[in-house]
Structure 1
Amino acid sequence: MKPIYIAASLLASAAFASPTMARDLIVNSYGGPYEQIIRDAIITPFEQEYGVRVIYDAVGSSSQDYAKIKATNGRPGFDVVVMTASQSLQGCEDGLLERFSPDTVPNLAHLNPEISAVAGPCGAVHELQYLSLLYRTDMVSESPQSWLDLFEDDLTGRVILPSFGNVMAAYLTQLMSVIHGGDLDSDIDPGFEAMTRLAAQSVGFEQASAILESYIVDGRVWAMPFWDGRAQLLVDSGAPVDYVLPEEGSVPLIATLNVPIGAQNKELALAFVDFFLEKTSQERWVEGYKVGSARADIEVSDQAQDRKITSQADLDALYLPDLLSLASNLSAWGERWEREVVPAAR
């Protein structure tokens, strides 16, 4: 089904919401604090400007969402989905995601071109994060500085890990592989061996970030991998936690907005993607969700920029896996995770 495009001048104005356009837009993304922030910073302003209603679907992880897109041949029942650059690249290769251009999404022209290129033509990069090490300041005697600190004896039974449905698990496995003499993609055995040992010292696995963070907030665990934006939200909430970028480095999360090729309300979906990338929208999002942006022209507080990815140099300082290779490996790695890592948990 060929997409129906409209002129950029109409896309940039409220007049774009024509009488013939459907008034409901279904957006699939995450729950927890993310949901309230996206409603306040993006969804409500979009509804007000375009005179439409956004139905928010907080079901599934990025990998589960893409699996649904693939199983339905690009007609998953939602119009816009938040995923990652890995799924964006895979979806483009599979022909299941809409390709964007500055003609259909004008604000793409304002994104860092190198960062946009990582996500490919089907992904609009709306935020940047990295995998950080989150810890309880009142329980850990010294601030951890290394991913290897997760293996310390005093953290035995005080670490929780993401399940493989959360891409944090794949990223942490890749990092552990590099630290233990392997690499990010082809020689991953050291990573799985390390994660199996770490699982034996953990309390188990959870998939949703909102559930993962509850373990550290109530003190059941004292350290865990977590996205830096969500970690900063916890710091700002007054919880006795802090986070670090470990000395070995980390992996960025390049988060994208995507439109399935068979979306029912494609025109409004493209308008939503463009609205999310607007300067003022990105400023609200960065301030609200404590993440980095691929727009260099946003104006935010110094606090919002502290410890965030704010430049190409920040991104270059992190490990960037071959994301298309990662997407193709996820299924096999997930099966291996279930065979080797999960049974080792306490």
Structure 2
Amino acid sequence: MPTRRLVIQAGLASIAAPAIVRAQGLSGSITLMSYSGIFQDNYTKTVIEPFQQAFPGIKVNFAPGGTSAQMVGSVRAQKADPQIDVAIMDVTTSSIGNSEGLFEKLTPAEFPVLNELLPEARAAGGEYGPAVTFDHLVLVYDTQNLKPPLTTLADLWRPDLKGQLAISAPPNIQGLALTAMVEKMTGGDYRKSIDGAIKKLRELAPSVNTFEPNPDGYSLILNGVVKVATGWNARSQLYADQTGGKIAALLPPEGSVFQINTINLTAGSKNRAAAAAFINYALSQAAQKAFTERMFYAPTNAQAAIDPKAIARTAAAPESRARMIGLDWNDVLKVRDQWNNRWRREVIAAAR
């Protein structure tokens, strides 16, 4: 878990020859399961298509997996006859798959690119799939119709925002992250108690339009349904560009938390060698550089030479790192059900 500050190493790291295993004669097809929509579109362009050029004998099929919980459910259902070879999902969910034997352990001997990763990226999955992207929670808002603009986390409680909020509640990971952020805002520590956060969120509940943004908070803002939503920085940055600045992302001065996506090798993959080659490539300097510069996820390969302008818009930017709360997702996993129940009984119920 990124409880220490992310360090993006500077220097002239070469990206011309990514650290991948170019096994001879690899062929066939593999299936990658991950997020649909703009993630799928941009990951295909920056990672999958270049990989297929480097390995022309391998075809990568992208299977949109819905949420991370839905993805691990799909892998679980196929345990006896795996159809998915590689899965990219949130670390809080991939850890469940690791404990159930759904994913394989990865070693540097077979995956030499592991030695290029940030320590936080290696630690995220333990002996299993490491972090492939870093991101952080932000508040997304309508720049055209919200006056004055959002400047702090505390602004969510402004009277003029009544009915104008889309908050993703637990079990969505955004809700778990928001809990830790609000607890810190109230002067508390999520590791000791979330009483302060629950009390404050209960006060916010009547202002919330929906606790289950559908299809997502970004779309609800762009369609004029709400003016503010919880969201992830990477997607928010891309939507901001695509809409000419109609939406903006706020990293609250009160702090935010990192979100981690891991890349995982399914146990029993039917084309394991090809799947391993893809994982090595996805973590390589070239792939990390391309995807970060395209979609603003912070890289996990410490040797990737990223455009400074792109880094400035990611979770790796110095000003972003300085605002991060030292949240350990392993700690949160232990109390996740308790937090979910408190949200359902004390927060969401207060909106009715």
**TM-score bin (small chain):** 0.7 to 0.9
Deviation at 1:199, TM superposition (A): 2.7
For residue 46 of structure 1, what is the aligned residue in structure 2? 51
- 2:143–2:247 contact (8 Å) kept in structure 1: yes
Deviation at 1:228, TM superposition (A): 0.8
What is the SS of the residue equivalent to 1:107? helix
Q: Does 1:148 align with 2:154?
A: yes
Alignment of 1:259-278 (within 5 A): 259-278=265-284
Could you say if the C-alpha distance between residues 270 and 193 of structure 1 is closer, same or farther in structure 2, counting changes exceeding 3 Å?
farther
For residue 3 of structure 1, what is the aligned residue in structure 2? none
Cα distance between partner residues in 2 of 1:178 and 1:42: 37
- 1:74–1:263 contact (8 Å) kept in structure 2: no
Deviation at 1:170, TM superposition (A): 0.9
Could you say if the C-alpha distance between residues 312 and 211 of structure 1 is closer, same or farther in structure 2, counting changes exceeding 3 Å?
closer
Q: Does 1:193 align with 2:178?
A: no
Could you say if the C-alpha distance between residues 326 and 70 of structure 1 is closer, same or farther in structure 2, counting changes exceeding 3 Å?
farther
Q: Tell me whether 72-81 or 37-46 shows the greater mean CA deviation.
A: 72-81
What is the SS of the residue equivalent to 2:107? coil
Deviation at 1:40, TM superposition (A): 0.7
Could you say if the C-alpha distance between residues 91 and 249 of structure 1 is closer, same or farther in structure 2, counting changes exceeding 3 Å?
same
Q: Tell me whether 241-250 or 306-315 shows the greater mean CA deviation.
A: 306-315
Cα distance between partner residues in 2 of 1:264 and 1:236: 40
- 1:29–1:59 contact (8 Å) kept in structure 2: yes
For residue 15 of structure 1, what is the aligned residue in structure 2? 24
Corresponding residue to 2:65 among 59, 68, 75: 59
Deviation at 1:286, TM superposition (A): 0.4
- 1:69–1:96 contact (8 Å) kept in structure 2: yes
Amino acid at match of 1:274: N
Q: What's the Cα RMSD here?
A: 2.7
Q: Does 1:26 align with 2:31?
A: yes
Amino acid at match of 2:346: E
Q: Does 1:171 align with 2:177?
A: yes
Cα distance between partner residues in 2 of 1:192 and 1:70: 33
Cα distance between partner residues in 1 of 2:183 and 2:154: 12
Deviation at 1:81, TM superposition (A): 1.2
Could you say if the C-alpha distance between residues 273 and 16 of structure 1 is closer, same or farther in structure 2, counting changes exceeding 3 Å?
farther
For residue 226 of structure 1, what is the aligned residue in structure 2? 231
Could you say if the C-alpha distance between residues 177 and 233 of structure 1 is closer, same or farther in structure 2, counting changes exceeding 3 Å?
same
Q: Percent identity?
A: 28
Q: Tell me whether 267-276 or 74-83 shows the greater mean CA deviation.
A: 74-83
Cα distance between partner residues in 2 of 1:288 and 1:126: 15
Cα distance between partner residues in 1 of 2:59 and 2:186: 50
Deviation at 1:13, TM superposition (A): 1.4
Corresponding residue to 1:309 among 285, 293, 315: 315
- 1:125–1:255 contact (8 Å) kept in structure 2: yes
Amino acid at match of 2:157: F
What is the SS of the residue equivalent to 1:162? coil
- Cα distance per residue 1:60-115 (max 9 Å; x no partner): 31233234445665866422111223334444444432111221222111111244
- 2:167–2:211 contact (8 Å) kept in structure 1: yes
- 1:64–1:165 contact (8 Å) kept in structure 2: no
Cα distance between partner residues in 2 of 1:262 and 1:329: 31
- 1:119–1:254 contact (8 Å) kept in structure 2: no
- 5+ unaligned residues in a row in structure 2: which ranges? 1-17
Amino acid at match of 1:307: R
Cα distance between partner residues in 1 of 2:178 and 2:35: 21
For residue 131 of structure 1, what is the aligned residue in structure 2? 137
Q: Does 1:109 align with 2:115?
A: yes
- Cα distance per residue 1:215-274 (max 9 Å; x no partner): 111222111221111110011111412222111110011221112323333322221111
Alignment of 1:251-330 (within 5 A): 251-310=257-316, 315=321, 317-330=323-336
The number of residues matched between the two structures is 333
Q: Tell me whether 139-148 or 167-176 shows the greater mean CA deviation.
A: 139-148
Deviation at 1:201, TM superposition (A): 0.6
Deviation at 1:188, TM superposition (A): 1.9
Deviation at 1:343, TM superposition (A): 3.0
For residue 189 of structure 2, what is the aligned residue in structure 1? 183
